[in-house]
Structure 1
Amino acid sequence: MEKKACYHCGDNCTDTTIVLEDKTFCCNGCKTVFEILSESDLTCYYDLQASPGAIPKEIEGKYDFLSQQKIIDKLVEFDDGNTQIVTLYIPHIHCSSCIWILENLNKLNPAITLSQVNFGKKTVRVSYNSQSFSLKALVIMLSSVGYEPYISLEDYKTGQENVNRSLIYKLGVAGFAFGNVMFLSFPEYFEVNEFWLDQYKHLFRWIMFSFSLPVVFYAAQDYFVSAYKAIKTKILNIDIPIALGIIVLFLRSTAEIIFDLGSGFFDSLTGLVFFLLLGKFFQQKTYSFLSFERDYKSYFPIAVTKIFNNEEVPVQVYDIEKGDRLLIRNQELIPVDGILINGRAKIDYSFVTGESETVTKQSGDKLFAGGKQTSGVIEMEAIKSVEQSYLTQLWSNDVFSKNKEDGFTTLTNAISKRFTIAVLTIAFVATAFWLYTDASKALNVFTAVLIIACPCAIALAAPFTFGNLLRIFGKQKFYLKNASVIEQLAHINTIIFDKTGTITSNKKSDAKYEGLPLSPNEEVLLKNTLRGSNHPLSRSLYDILEENNIISLDYFEEYLGQGIEASHNTQNIKIGSAQFVGHQTETEVLNTSVYISANNTYKGKFTFYNSYRKGLSKLFNKLKKHYDLVILSGDNEGELENLKKLLPVRTKLLFNQKPDDKLEYIKYHQSEGAKVLMVGDGLNDAGALAQSHVGIAISENVNVFSPACDAILDATKFNKLYHYIKASKSGIKIVKWSFILSLFYNVIGLYFAVTGQLAPVIAAILMPLSSISIVVFTTVATNIVGRKLK
């Protein structure tokens, strides 16, 4: 009886054969997968790769344990009662079709809002509505489509750190085949007629053909899949000329041995794939090292307040341990999972879920890392140590970076498309010429051109340059969200600064009180109200005032750009601008002031004497030579004369700017062609940071920033801002020089290839060497830039 292959998984249908729509399936599981995909209009899944699925295992009753709340709590990383987020380790992820189906899970079930695949770690992070869908249902659905997760009950882990060995296996297969084909080709290389008899010649050639099969159909399959997807989406990528070269070599070689025209080019074919994979393996190893360096060291500097022996001590987030008592102020990010002890918790989980609706929590409720407190101060107990890579992942989420990247073309995208078109044109023109003059050389010329001119070096230049710069910046306390920020930063021509908390230092500020004396109860309420706020002036005033008893506020509300209102028992207090507290000023105030009213009665004001950051004047003088500089401040003009003395001439100074005014100012100048960098405190400036091309939030021992910022700069490194921008421009130059270097040896290589003087196997050896030279060049060059930063 003829054995048929399963349409879904590719296995032979032996005992059981199920037919549906003229397609054969080996089991009900594979048939179910096809039905699900067909109902959801996702059958193009099979176009990406023949028989892409894995055989689903018997799963009935296997995952009943996922109905237990205790186990669900251990597995999910977020659960607010409506939305659950879980990261599952899926060993079967192995190719682009796996990524495609796993990132389209929302089409299989509308309760799934988002699914993101980490191909390197073989994980998928799924966000779903827990009211209409469950973790058990998710796991069963994944298993039914051939992607059963690995879940260990012993330690409640959803995954394990496994190395992706598929590239190693492919490299091994290609290397084994290449060595044997070269060995079998020796008799013909050296024309050993005594040995190369007619009775062995055909055998050896067919053995070489058999060795080439796993190389073409297994080791090189990623290039074919990538090229097919590119053609299907009408995009020219760098894998198209590679795939074309492999196909041409294989078909020509096969035709030669079938029609006894020669031994073919199986040595060149297997050598080409082997050296391609060798270069890819080297790239993967080097880039994973850079990624590890960034994951391990380049955490953004969240400082959180720890309550220790009844004192508030700022600590770095990675020093938090299980059982620590933490103070989370208004607009601060929750750095670890914990239990709410006291306070009025209204948590914004938009960082995690993308939904900005706040969730109210009571004492004893669980709080998840990544949530932002929006209603005063709360105290919580950490139930695990911090996973800062998780916070970095939230901050770097593609959801928050898409808008700024719209319409921005990276160097690699701009050049690689033109490069591929040029290579294909040269290959076809040169082949046509040799077919006319000497047909025997035409195939060698065609494949040599495609191989030697492969734009792999172009593809490597930017990732290695920017990846290394991210690591270097991180060591220098300048934390970028992703590599595209470097390119954006290099193109800016206008820099806008906030004043308070950005160019002024909160630590050195001094304040003088003028007005009616505050009662003891009012002093306690003032101190505790300031305790809950993260505005730079609030933090400065809080540090200046004497210690007072800690009380739980009945009400707290912070109005951006205006002030704070709070109440306790019968006492009510307002702190902020004169207009906010209801006070009419008769004379113009020449200094930054914070006004106070208690129970709707004006009490007085604190006048601040600003201390500007070290090296401010020197920094602005450097920046002014290359950029348009603007100060946008929400304060009055009291500091105008001081700033005129400190800052270069023609620095634009605008005061009394509300958050919306700042945003509109940036939007207007962008419409005039300005590339804007906004530097702010990350709180009142969130809208302006989001609107600008690059938004940098200054961090000074506070746990406040938003997805709007593209970078976080430690306040102690503020005076190095010019050098960071200069280093970003140097990064672009390094990439361009890499392109020039690549073009230089491509021109030389193409000359020998077009003139028929370069064998495909030599081209295959030279290509990864050129890629390695680019990696070495970019790494050395960026390290030199890094030394200059120090």
Structure 2
Amino acid sequence: MTSPIRETAGNSSRKIDGCYHCGLPVETDSFRLQSAAEELHFCCNGCKNAYLLIQQEGLGSYYQSRTDFASRPDEKQMPEEALYRALEDRIASKGQDGEQSFLEGTFLIRGIHCASCVWLNEKILRNIDGVISAEVQLVTSRVHLKWNPEKTDLARLARAVSKVGYRLLPVQEKENVELKKASVSLLKKMAVAGFFTGNIMLISFSLYAGMFSFMDELTKQFFHFVAWLMATPVYLYSASEFFKAAWASIRNRVLGMDILTASGLSLAYFYSVYVTLTGKGEVFFDAVCFVVFAILIGRFLESRIRLKTWYYTHNLISHIPDFARLLNAGVDIDDLDEESQVRITPLEDVRIGDRFVVRNGEALPVDGRLLSESAETDESALTGEFRPRQRKAGEILTAGSRAAGEKAIVLEATSTHATSTLTRIMSMAEESLRDRPRSERIASRAAAIFIGFVLLAGVATFFYWFEIRNDLPGAILHTLSLLIVACPCALSLSIPTAILVAMQRSFSRGCLIHKAEHLEILAKAKHFAFDKTGTITTGKMHVSRIDGCSAGKAPEYLLLAAQIQASTGIEHPLATAFIESAPKHQRLRRDDIETTYLTGRGVQALVPVNIAGGGADSFAKAAYHLGSLPYLEELGYGIGAVSLDGIATPVGFGRTLNGQKELLCVFQLQDTIRPEAASVVAELNKAGDTELLTGDGEQTAALVTQGTGLRSFQASMTPEQKRDRIAELRKAGVTVMLGDGVNDTVALSAAHVGITFAEASRLALYSADILLLKPDLRLLTFMTRLSRRTRMKIVQNLSISFGYNVLLLPLAFFGYITPLLGAIFMSLSSICVVLNSLTLMRAGAEETPQEP
């Protein structure tokens, strides 16, 4: 029963520590209540009403059990009816069973901190008439809802949680049914095998004890029948995994590991059945159960590693909302009235160039260029860094980033959902899980040869004991032991487990590998080539100086250059520098500008200009050229001596009108070297050669090389020249190229391993083999270390598996190993391989990149 509550007048002299509901500072004494125990102060009317609502619902114990303050209710941002109606319509249209009287879906509850938050949200939702069930998960902050649409709707549920400071948000669910189904199936079969293995061992101990003391035949036969009863579910159900795979191998005429396993299990099982029925010899039902259980343990661990790796990647795409708030045409972003000027649109219908609105706490549905003057974003979904980032107008924000500021932000879509950076990352992750590296394919072929050898060895063992030693029970027993001992489970696990663990570790640290074989190749790298802008330098360029222009013309030329760059749609640090340096609130994208982007050179634009003396309506098309100084010199513009500020990049701006060429100005774009670049290059110099490949002049290239410790540089290079240089380096050894721009795509493709950042241009993303989700060069050294440790683990795993087989096969042939002992050794080798691979998750934790 809750305590009576009444409102009190202001002007309390008691010191106020913070809002009783959300913990924020209390700036006014206007919102307070008197309970039986104490006087409660609130920061706003929203928190006060949230407290009253919780008390009215009979949930006042929430405040006694919580471990953190609740979120502050925002009365200005209550749930939008249109958004939740659209969500409900989509859920209803996704093939729900017509006979069902309810709808269900999974949503994110923003603001959950502790178990008390889970309890409170479940209680509030379940108390609403029409809600069938509400199950909240603390770890994921997800709620699975079932509700009757005839009694309530999704908007009402969203309003209910928002009144107490939480937000119900849509999430995109992407299920990997096959991986989950396989993992659950293995778990069930392993549980059955484990249960009967534990119980059958009790029978086996009794039988083994009877071999050294008196046990009458009736008791012995009884134990045999009990063991048969226990082993049969294991053989028919748990071992079905091996029989299906063995049959598939036979149909495809491939010698698979499961042929060996199925043969050994069948021989042991049916021989034991024969012994049970005839009473002659000893049974090996315990070995059947133990072998099945041991192999399933290894396979289950592998499936969990694979599933966990998939979960890492799945968490990325789950941040993408199903809908976007598109801004209606003609709306001024400075005079934005969200309710009447936006429309809710399905994610798949968002097109490049659409303007959309993102509210506080919501994720970007697609990549977009920021139109608002500034924004604060949380990009932890992509980079793992929970520190908000300050963004300026003109910057490109990636899908999945969350708006963290108080105000809604407006962006212009630079991608569709299918072409967004996050979708590309997800595609790379899924492909990496399907891919088999070259070493694994070689190991599979070696295993097939080994299996053929073991089958011949099994025939030889049976022949030796039956024909030469004249011992049929011994022939069956020792052949069975050899088949069990020789099972190449450890060999089949040695490479994929190491690769999967390494990929999981790399992704958890902000690196995504396109194909597993690139991890192996990186371990052999001898040459490291770097682009300059956005790679060795931060890529956060700005126009620091404008030289050679007429008096008062600098702002006009800067705006026109920004409009030309915006019209190209190219994502490049140089383009971003002009767009960010342009006057605020200017519409940059112009329909009357025709642009042609020349990779590695610059931009040619046809812009209508007014002809002097020709009247107000007299226009002609002028050709503007914005690009590198060598490019403008090729076109015939006279370029004089240019003095550079440090590692500034000069960009010429010229105009051709009526055949007359005029150099308008030279922009100086300043950049800074990444603070971690020198230490990264110093470490890479120990492993091989480092080289800078840049389109900038020799002066800039020399300064960057000297400042970072790179061993050599190539200056004034076109994209084709970069590609040719990479081809030369490939002849001398494994070559790695790190770049992020459109100019680097051909070089990235030409290298053995191409590496780029997630913030790179879209073309670079599609050309790269490894993606660094954080803009930190230390991830490169982390990946090189990890690749070498992975190679070492693979060698160790192969040594364990081959060493085990080489040592125990002769012992099994000559009868020194029983089937049960062979099963124990076989399982130990597999478990050792898996555990050795898992050490990659903790090895070298001290090498994980930290914030500079």
- TM-score bucket of the superposed structures, by smaller chain: 0.5 to 0.7
Question: 2:653 pairs with 589, 596, 615, which one?
Answer: 596
Q: What residue is the counterpart of 1:773 in the other structure?
A: 832
Measured after TM superposition, the shift of residue 785 of structure 1 is 1.9
Task: Give me the TM-score of the superposition, normalised by structure 2.
Answer: 0.60
Structure 2: distance between partners of 1:201 and 1:768:
28
Deviation at 1:240, TM superposition (A): 3.0
2-structure distance, mates of 1:587, 1:521 = 22
Structure 2 match to 1:433: 464
Give CA deviations for 1:121-152 in whole Å, capped at 9, x if unaligned. Answer: xxxxxxxxxxxxxxxxxxxxxxxxxxxxxxxx
- After the TM superposition, which of the residue ranges 601-610 and 303-312 deviates more from structure 2? 303-312
1:4 match: none
Conservation of the 8 A alpha-carbon contact between 1:682 and 1:698 = no
Match of 1:561 in 2: 600
Aligned counterpart for 1:523 among listed residues 538, 558, 566: 558
Structure 1 residue 681: deviation in Å? 0.8
Pick aligned residue for 1:311 from 374, 388, 410: 374
Letter of the 1:560 counterpart: T
Q: Amino acid of the residue matched to residue 461 of structure 1?
A: S
**Alpha-carbon separation, structure 2, partners of 1:787 and 1:678:** 26
Q: For 1:759-770, what aligned pairs fall within 5 Å after superposition?
A: 759-770=818-829
1:121-520 to 2 correspondence within 5 Å? Answer: 164-178=183-197, 188-191=207-210, 196-197=216-217, 205=224, 208-209=227-228, 211-257=230-276, 261-285=280-304, 288-289=307-308, 291-293=310-312, 295-296=314-315, 307=370, 310-311=373-374, 315-316=378-379, 318=381, 367-371=416-420, 392-398=425-431, 412-413=443-444, 416-417=447-448, 419-421=450-452, 423-424=454-455, 426-435=457-466, 436-437=468-469, 439=471, 440-507=473-540, 511-517=544-550, 518=553
Contact 2:370/2:397, CA 8 A, preserved across alignment: no
Whether the 8 Å CA contact 1:576–1:596 is kept in 2: the answer is: yes
Shift of 1:456: 2.3
Secondary structure in 2 matching 1:165: helix
Give the match for residue 613 of structure 1. 674
1:490 and 1:732 map into 2 onto residues whose CA distance is: 7
Q: Deviations over 1:212-240 (max 9, x none)?
A: 44333322122122233334444444323
Output the amino acid matched with 2:300.
Answer: F
Structure 2: where are the runs of 5+ without partners? 1-87, 96-169, 320-362, 384-390, 403-408, 611-621
State the SS of the aligned residue for 2:575. Answer: helix
Superposed CA RMSD in Å reads 4.9
Shift in Å, 1:690: 2.4
The AA in structure 1 aligned to 2:688 is: Y
* Residue type of the alignment partner of 2:663: Y
Query: Would the aligned equivalents of 1:562 and 1:576 in 2 still touch at CA under 8 Å?
Result: yes
- Cα drift, residue 729 of structure 1: 0.8
Identity of paired residues, percent? 21
2:628 is aligned to 577
2: CA distance, partners of 1:342 / 1:598: 31
- Deviations 1:471-495, CA, capped at 9 Å, x for gaps: 4434443333354332121122222
Show CA shifts across 1:410-430 (max 9, x none).
674475445545544554444
Q: Name 1:738's counterpart in structure 2.
A: 797
Partners of 1:213 and 1:728 in 2: CA distance: 44
The answer to whether the 8 Å contact 1:306/1:315 transfers is: no
1:751 offset after TM fit, Å?
5.0
Indicate conservation of the 8 Å contact 2:537/2:674, yes or no: yes
Deviations 1:486-523, CA, capped at 9 Å, x for gaps: 21211222222222222223236664322224375543
Whether the 8 Å contact between 1:524 and 1:548 is mirrored in structure 2 is no
Aligned residue pair count = 604
Q: What CA distance in whole angstroms lies between the structure 2 residues aligned with 1:174 and 1:207? A: 15
Cα distance in 1 for partners of 2:514, 2:642 equals: 40
Which structure's CA Rg is the greater one?
Answer: 2
Specify the alignment match of 2:139 in structure 1.
none
Indicate how the Cα distance of structure 1 residues 284 and 257 shifts in structure 2: closer, same or farther if over 3 A, else same: same
C-alpha distance in 1 between matches for 2:790 and 2:197: 38
User: Once the 2 structures are TM-superposed, how far is the Cα of residue 394 of structure 1 from its aligned partner?
Assistant: 1.5
**Alpha-carbon distance between aligned partners in 1 of 2:764 and 2:92, rounded to the nearest angstrom:** 28
- Structure 1 residues 58-97: Cα deviation after superposition (integer angstroms, max 9, x where no partner): xxxxxxxxxxx97599759xxxxxxxxxxxxxxxxxxxxx
Classify the secondary structure of the residue corresponding to 1:607: strand
Q: 1:706 Cα shift?
A: 1.9
Q: Partners in 2 of 1:75 and 1:689 — Cα distance?
A: 41
Give the distance between the partners of 1:556 and 1:431, measured in 2 at CA: 82
Is the 1:304–1:316 contact (alpha carbons within 8 Å) kept by the matching residues of 2?
no
Change (3 A) 1:510 1:415: farther
2:843 aligns to what?
A: 784
How much has 1:576 moved relative to structure 2?
Answer: 1.4
Give the 3 Å change call, closer, same or farther, for CA 239–707 of structure 1 in structure 2: farther
1:756 to 788, 792, 815: 815
8 Å CA contact 1:306–1:312 kept in 2: the answer is no
User: What residue is the counterpart of 1:729 in the other structure?
Assistant: 788
Give the corresponding residue for 1:134: none
Give CA deviations for 1:288-347 in whole Å, capped at 9, x if unaligned: 445545655899999966748543556527499xxxxx999899876699xx9997x896
Conserved? CA contact 1:663–1:687, under 8 Å: yes
Q: Which amino acid aligns with 1:633?
A: T
- Of 233-242 and 498-507, deviating more is 233-242
Which one of 538, 550, 553 corresponds to residue 587 of structure 2? 550
Letter of the 2:674 partner, please give it: R
Q: Which amino acid aligns with 2:574?
A: L
- Unaligned regions of 5+ residues in structure 1, if any? 1-68, 77-153, 321-325, 348-366, 373-387
8 A contact 1:395–1:481 mirrored in 2: yes
CA distance in 2, matches of 1:305, 1:541: 17
The CA deviation string for residues 642-678 of structure 1, in whole angstroms up to 9 with x for no partner, is 35644668x45333332233334434554x3632211
CA distance 1:720–1:283, shift in 2 (3 Å)? closer
- Contact kept, 8 Å, 1:534 with 1:704, in 2: the verdict is no
**Cα 1:722–1:280, aligned 2, differ >3 Å: closer, same or farther?**
closer
Q: CA deviation at 1:589?
A: 6.1
**1:614/1:719 contact within 8 Å kept:** no
Instruction: Say whether the 8 Å CA contact 1:445–1:754 is kept in structure 2.
Output: yes
Structure 1 stretch displaced more, 599-608 or 305-314: 305-314
Mapped to 2, the partners of 1:546 and 1:457 lie a distance apart of: 65
Q: CA deviation at 1:276?
A: 2.4
